[in-house]
Structure 1
Amino acid sequence: MSRVRAYIGLGANLGDPRAALDAACAALVALPDSTFAGRSPLYLTAPLGGPPGQPDYLNAVAALDTALAPGALLAQLQAIEAGHGRTREVRWGPRTLDLDLLLYGDAVVDEPTLCVPHPRLHQRAFVLYPLADLAPDLCVPGLGTLQRLLAGCPRAGIRRLDPLE
């Protein structure tokens, strides 16, 4: 079965976000019919929307070579989130773990439960900058080059963390 490079957005701002992202990557390593291909550095980012006063997020992007279909991969990601106590009570609210299927090869998926590329990918510095760490020459289906998207997305509110932080 052929594999597709998928990119997964990772985020958390409740509990121990660093441990949550590390555990999420370990879970991605264990996914069936998939090979973990790497993770970007961590970024500290201000919350985007949601209730006021929530803590900053830790964000990263992981790369995965997978033979899982997009819907099956999404189901696996949601199971990992649930295993970390993720609830969906408040839109853009605080999270123990958030895993978003950002890209699935060159596929464009527009279904009620899944849109790929992620519909707001091009507007989010906390996605674009870590994605650029993994794949600076990436072309996002329907949106153009990652470098062009970065040029239109200010870096305000995001800070790349030193590995020792």
Structure 2
Amino acid sequence: MSRAVLSIGSNMGDRLAHLRSVVDGFGDRVVAVSPVYSTPPWGGVEQDDYLNAVVVVDDPELAGIDWLRTGQRLEQAADRVREVRWGARTLDVDVVWCAERVHGELVAVRSADPELTLPHPQAHRRAFVLIPWLDVAPDATLEVDGSAQAITDLLDELPAAERAGVQRTELSLAPAAEGSASCS
């Protein structure tokens, strides 16, 4: 079994439609979807604000690399162009965290593979990832420097201005009856 936390974002074109394409693209594998947030761009490149969300997916047949490849296919379908690092994009799908079920327990996957580093090496520094993640998994933890840390603690360590820039919208990607899921 594999469960993954995906951070999704868009700041070009029909941003909400691009985010919805991820939920639709993963279909029955989606177990939780956060609210949609408006966030300033991250990384210092001048561009429009993003819509961001977190999607939790689960499938007994898929591994971390499969989540990455599916996300990349969805990015390609949205005409994603990779010209400028941290530049504007129609769709960005990042695998932030992945776990496999071992003896009935979810165990976080670690990977130093350059194609898919797990956990995502910048996730703990990004309020636009941590805040929506808390919506779907309030007790989630993330390994940082070899130690599992509560997402709430990681968020508290970020600058107040970065946290304040992540604004919840009235937009939704999930059916009203959607529940939350435990991620760690």
2:39 aligns with one of 38, 42, 45: 45
Aligned twin of 2:153: 148
The worse-fitting range, judged by mean Cα deviation, of 110-119 and 149-158 is: 149-158
Work out whether 1:134 is the aligned partner of 2:136. yes
Q: SS where residue 38 of structure 1 aligns?
A: strand
Contact 2:21–2:74 (CA<8 Å) still a contact in 1? no
Q: How many residue pairs align between the two structures?
A: 157
Aligned twin of 1:28: 26
Displacement after TM superposition at 1:82 (Å): 0.5
- TM-score in terms of structure 1 length: 0.90
Distance in 2 between residues matched to 1:92 and 1:132, nearest whole Å: 24
Displacement after TM superposition at 1:25 (Å): 0.8
Q: SS where residue 132 of structure 2 aligns?
A: helix
Distance in 2 between residues matched to 1:163 and 1:88, nearest whole Å: 27
- Mark the runs of 5 or more structure 1 residues left unpaired by the alignment: none
Work out whether 1:107 is the aligned partner of 2:128. no
Aligned twin of 1:56: 49
Change (3 A) 1:163 1:75: closer
Contact 1:55–1:94 (CA<8 Å) still a contact in 2? yes
Work out whether 1:160 is the aligned partner of 2:168. yes
Contact 2:109–2:118 (CA<8 Å) still a contact in 1? yes
Distance in 1 between residues matched to 2:127 and 2:111, nearest whole Å: 22
Q: SS where residue 81 of structure 2 aligns?
A: coil
The worse-fitting range, judged by mean Cα deviation, of 130-139 and 148-157 is: 148-157
Runs (4+) off by over 3 Å: none
Contact 2:11–2:51 (CA<8 Å) still a contact in 1? yes
Aligned twin of 2:176: none
Distance in 2 between residues matched to 1:51 and 1:89, nearest whole Å: 12
Distance in 1 between residues matched to 2:114 and 2:45, nearest whole Å: 26
Distance in 2 between residues matched to 1:151 and 1:79, nearest whole Å: 34
Contact 2:71–2:93 (CA<8 Å) still a contact in 1? yes
Aligned twin of 2:79: 85
Displacement after TM superposition at 1:72 (Å): 2.0
Q: SS where residue 122 of structure 1 aligns?
A: helix
- Mark the runs of 5 or more structure 2 residues left unpaired by the alignment: 100-107, 173-184
User: Identity of counterpart residues, as a percentage?
Assistant: 39
Contact 1:24–1:80 (CA<8 Å) still a contact in 2? yes
Contact 2:2–2:64 (CA<8 Å) still a contact in 1? no
Partner amino acid, structure 2, of 1:72? D
Displacement after TM superposition at 1:143 (Å): 4.1
Displacement after TM superposition at 1:38 (Å): 1.5
Contact 1:50–1:91 (CA<8 Å) still a contact in 2? no
The worse-fitting range, judged by mean Cα deviation, of 151-160 and 105-114 is: 151-160
- What's the CA shift string for 1:103-134, capped at 9, x where partnerless? 00211111111111110000000000000000
